[in-house]
Structure 1
Amino acid sequence: MKSYDVAVIGSGPGGYVAAIRCAQLGMKTAIIEKYSTLGGTCLNVGCIPSKALLSSSHHYEEATKHFEEHGIEIPGDIKVNLEKMIGRKQAVVDQTTGGIDFLMKKNKIDVFEGLGSFVDATHIKIEGKDAQEIEAKKIIIATGSKPSTLPFITLDKERVITSTEALKLKEIPKHLIIIGGGVIGLELGQVYRRLGAEVTVIEYMDRILPTMDAGLSKELNKVFKKAKCKMMLSHKVQSVERKGDEVIVKAENKKGEVVEFKGDYCLVSVGRKPYTAGLNAEAAGVKLNDRGQVEVNEHLQTNVSNIYAIGDVIKGAMLAHKAEEEGVFVAETMAGQKPHIDYNLIPGVVYTWPEVAAVGKTEEELKADNVEYKVGQFPFRALGRARASGDIDGFVKILADKKTDEVLGVHMIGARCADLIAEAVTAMEFRASAEDISRMSHAHPTFAEAVKEAALAATDDRALHV
C-alpha cells in the first residue's frame, strides 16, 4: 500500500493548488480525480470553457455589429460555425488541463484516476482506472460542486439542460429559456443571444445578480434589455415540461398570474450544490451539515483532526479563486505556518460584456449594519479610453467610511472590470482610504482612470471629468 503525507480528493482549482503547495512545502503528496482529466468543473465545464465561448461570441458580435463603424468592411455574410467554435473551446480546455498534468509531474505529485472514498480517517479506496487503496497522514476534501435543480424539474440533458450541456450544444437555440438570473445563466445567455438565439431569463427575485450591489444589477439588466433579451423578474417557475423538441415553462408573476414560455432549450441555472456523492465521509467520521456541506472550523479542519476541506464543498462563495486561496491556506497550516484569508476581500466577477466585478461590502450590507458611508461614482462614458473603444456602458462605485474614509466596498460594471477589480482588492488589503486611491497616478487614457475618478468623487466630490 502506498503511503503519503497528504492525499487530496478532487483536482479542481482548490485541489490541485493545495497539492502543489503541499509538495512545495516538502510533503509527499497524492491527488485523486475520478475523471480522466484534471482541473475539475472550472477547467473542464465551467470557468475556462465558458470564457472561451464568451470570447468567440464577442468577436462575432463585434464583426456583425461594430466593425463597420470602425471602418472595417467585410464582403459577404458573416456566419457562425458553431462546431468550430465549440472545437476551439475544447482545444483551450485540453491545453489548460494538460498544463495541470505538467504541474503535477513537475512537483512530483502522484495522480490517481478513480473515485476516492474513505475507508477510515487515514485510508482512501480508489475505484476506477487506478483501483487500489492508499494511506495518508492528512487528507484534503476538495470534491467541489454540481449544478442544482428544482425538485419538479427533470433534467434530460438534451433540451432541459445544465451549464455542462450548454457548453457543447450542436446547434444554436432558436429560443433559449434560462431559469435563474445569476452569473452562469447570464454569461451563457449572452453567448447564445450574440449568436442569434432569442433569450428569455426567468428570475425569482426582483433583480438579476441578487447577491451583488443593486446598482450593478440595474445596469446589467439595461444592457440585456438593450440586446433584446426578455428579462422576467419576480417570476416563480412552477413547471418545466418537454414535448418533443419544445420546452414549456410556466411561471407565476408577482400579480399571481401564470405566464407560459415556449422554447427549444431550457437552461436550468439556479445555483450549485456541494458534491460529496461516493465520498463515504461517514466512514471517516466527517460531519456534513444539513445543506450537504462539509463542516469545518476557522482552520478549514473538519471534526476529524487530520482531515480538511476546501472550496465549493464547504460554506462560502463558490468561486475558483476562493478555493485556490483555501488550498494554499490548508497546505501552509499543515506545515505549521500561520496563513490568513480575508473572505470579505475575495472579489466576485461576472464575465458578461460589460464585465461586472465587486469586492467588499454592498450598500445594502452597510445599511443593514448601520455603517455611515459615502459614495463616489464615475461613469465609463466620461472616459476618453471608453469612447475610443466604444465601450461606454457602466460605472465604478466606491463606498468609503464616512468618518475614516477607509474603502469598504468597490462595485464596477464596464470594460475590463474583471481585471480592474484587482486594484480595489490590493487597496483594501492595505486598508486604503478613498483619498489614497485618488492620489495614485493612473495612466491616461485607460479604463483604470474610472477607479481614480470614483475615489475622487468619494473624497469631497472631487471627480475631475464629470
Structure 2
Amino acid sequence: MAEPFDLVVIGSGPGGYVCAIKAAQLGLKVAVVEKRKTYGGTCLNVGCIPSKALLYASEMFAEANHNFGELGIAVEPKLELSKMLAHKDKTVKSNVDGIAFLFKKNKITGVIGTGRIKSASEVEVAKEDGTTETLSAKNICIATGSDVAGIPGVEVAFDTDTIVSSDDAIALQKVPETMVVVGGGVIGLELGSVWARLGAKVTVVEYLDKVLGPMDSEVSTAFQKLMVKQGLTFKLGAKVTAVTKSDKGASVSFEPAKGGETETLDADVVLVATGRKPFTAGLGLEEAGVALDDRGRVEIDAHFKTNVDGIYAIGDVVKGAMLAHKAEDEGVALAEILAGQAGHVNYDAIPSVVYTSPEVASVGKTEEELKQAGVAYRVGKFPFMANGRARAMLQTDGFVKFLVDAETDRVLGCHILGADAGDLIAEAGLLMEFGGSSEDLARTSHAHPTLSEAMREAAFAAFAKPIHI
C-alpha cells in the first residue's frame, strides 16, 4: 500500500490551493482533490477573477465614453462583447493554468474528481470515468468553499441566460436592455455595475434599508449616490416574494419589508445575488461524524480542527467572512500548524473590497460597531477632491476615513470610497497589524503626487489637522 499523504485537501480554491502549496513548501507530502476540470475553485473559475476582468474592461469602456474627451482624446468607442468575454476567459485560463504549474513545481499530487471523506484517514475520489480512488491521509483539510445561496423562502429556477446566478452573469452573450439585481451586496453591485456600464438599465432590489450591509453607513450612503449617478436604480427595504419567467424574460415581485403593496418589475435578465452558503453536500461529513453549526458551517476550534481528530476545515465552509484572502490566510496558518509551527490569523485586520468604480474598501471596525461597543473614538477624513493626483486622473469622487481610539490614537478601522481603494486599504491593514496609530501613518513620508497621500491626510485629520483642506 502506498505511503499515506501528510495532507489531503478537498477543494482547490484560494484556501485549498494556498494551504496545499504552503504545506508542500514546509516539507509535507500533499494531495489536492478538485471536482472541476481546472483548479482554482469558484474564485478563479467563475468568481473573483473573471468578474474583475469584466469590471476592468467595462470600466475602460465607460472611461472612453465619458472621460477621454476631457483628457483630449477623441474616440468613438464601440462595444465588442465577444472580445471582452474572450479577455475574461483568457484571464481565467492564465490563472488556473498557473495553479496547475505551482502544484507541479511543489510536487503536489492533483486528483480530479469528487472527494468524499470515508474516515479520518481516507478520502474517496469519484472520477468522471466512473472509477474511484482512495487516498490515505494523516490529515484532511475541507476547503470546499461555498455555493449560490438563492433567496430564503423563494423558489428560484436558475437558467443560463434569463434568471441567473453570478456564475452565469459573467457570461451573458448579449447586453440586456433591462436587468434586475436581487441583492445589494458586493456580488450584485459589482456585476450590476458591469452590465450598467455596457448599456443595461439596472435596478437593484435589496431587503435591507442600505446597500453593502455590513459596511460603514457613511460610506455605503455616499457609494449609493454615486451608483445612482451612474444610472442604477435602487429599491431598498424590499422583500422579494417571487422570481418567475415572463413574456419579456423574467419578473421580480417584492413588497416593503415592513409590509405594504406588492410591486413587480419585468426585465430581460434577473441576477439573483443574495449571498452564498457553505458547500458541504456529498462530502460524507455526517458519516464521518464531523459537526456542523446551525448555519451549515463546519465547526472548528482556534486551530481549524473539527471535532474529529485529523480533519480540519478552512475558508467559506467555516465561520467568518466569505473572502478569498481570508481563506488564503487560514490555509497558510493551517499548513504551518500541521508542520509544527505557530500559524495564526488576525481576523481584525482582514480587508474587504468592492471592485466597482469607484471602489469601496474597508478594514477593522465601522462607526456603528464602535458606537454599539461603547468605544470612544475620533474620526479623520479627507476627500479625494483635494488630492492632486485624483484631480489629474478625473477620479475625485469619495474619501478616506480613519477611526482611531480617542485615548491611544490606535487605528481601529479604515474605510475608503474612491479610485484604487482596494490597493490603498493594504496600508491601513498593515498599520493595524502592527498596532499602529494615525500619527504613525501621518509621519510616514508618502510620494507626491499619489492617491496614497489621501491616506496620510486622513490620518493627519484623525490626530491633528489635514494639510490640504
Amino acid at match of 2:300: V
Match of 2:200 in 1: 197
Amino acid at match of 2:72: G
Deviation of 1:102 (Å): 0.2
Match of 1:286 in 2: 290
Cα contact 1:121–1:283 (8 A) shared by 2:
no
Match of 2:16 in 1: 15
Structure 1 distance, partners of 2:360, 2:218, is 11
Deviation of 1:244 (Å): 4.0
For residue 314 of structure 2, the aligned residue among 310, 313, 320 is 310
Match of 1:414 in 2: 418
Query: Which deviations, in whole Å up to 9, do the C-alpha atoms of 1:355-402 show, x marking residues without a partner?
Result: 110111100000010000000000000101111000000000000101
Match of 1:109 in 2: 108
* 2:150 equivalent to 1:146: no
Cα gap change, 1:296 to 1:195, in 2 (>3 Å): same
Structure 2 distance, partners of 1:266, 1:29, is 42
Match of 1:64 in 2: 65
Cα contact 1:201–1:231 (8 A) shared by 2:
yes
Amino acid at match of 1:208: V
Amino acid at match of 2:100: D
Match of 2:439 in 1: 435
Match of 1:388 in 2: 392
Cα contact 1:200–1:231 (8 A) shared by 2:
yes
Q: Given the two structures, how large is their TM-score scaled by the length of structure 2? A: 0.97
Cα gap change, 1:291 to 1:255, in 2 (>3 Å): closer
Cα contact 2:216–2:368 (8 A) shared by 1:
yes
Amino acid at match of 1:414: G
Cα contact 1:121–1:285 (8 A) shared by 2:
no
Amino acid at match of 1:40: G
Deviation of 1:215 (Å): 1.2
For residue 276 of structure 1, the aligned residue among 262, 269, 280 is 280
Query: Which deviations, in whole Å up to 9, do the C-alpha atoms of 1:315-356 show, x marking residues without a partner?
Result: 000000000000011111111111211101000000001111
* 2:214 equivalent to 1:211: yes
Structure 2 distance, partners of 1:340, 1:180, is 33
Range with greater deviation from structure 2 (143-152 or 8-17): 143-152
Match of 1:27 in 2: 28
* 2:176 equivalent to 1:173: yes
Deviation of 1:63 (Å): 1.0
* 2:188 equivalent to 1:188: no
Structure 2 distance, partners of 1:56, 1:416, is 15
Query: Which deviations, in whole Å up to 9, do the C-alpha atoms of 1:212-270 show, x marking residues without a partner?
Result: 10011011101111012111111111111112442111111256122221101100000
* 2:336 equivalent to 1:337: no
Query: Which deviations, in whole Å up to 9, do the C-alpha atoms of 1:421-444 show, x marking residues without a partner?
Result: 000011111111111111111111
Structure 2 distance, partners of 1:118, 1:244, is 46
Match of 2:430 in 1: 426
Match of 1:233 in 2: 236
Query: Which deviations, in whole Å up to 9, do the C-alpha atoms of 1:5-58 show, x marking residues without a partner?
Result: 110000000000000011111111000001100000000000000000001101
Structure 2 distance, partners of 1:119, 1:389, is 57
Cα contact 1:377–1:457 (8 A) shared by 2:
yes
Structure 2 distance, partners of 1:337, 1:7, is 19
SS of the residue 2:375 aligns to = coil
Deviation of 1:290 (Å): 2.0
Cα contact 2:158–2:165 (8 A) shared by 1:
no
Cα contact 2:8–2:139 (8 A) shared by 1:
yes
The gaps in structure 2 that reach 5 residues or longer are none
Q: Given the two structures, how large is their TM-score scaled by the length of structure 1? A: 0.98
The gaps in structure 1 that reach 5 residues or longer are none
Deviation of 1:283 (Å): 2.4
Amino acid at match of 2:117: F
Percentage of identical aligned residues: 51
SS of the residue 1:4 aligns to = coil
SS of the residue 1:391 aligns to = coil
Cα gap change, 1:139 to 1:434, in 2 (>3 Å): same
Cα contact 1:182–1:209 (8 A) shared by 2:
yes
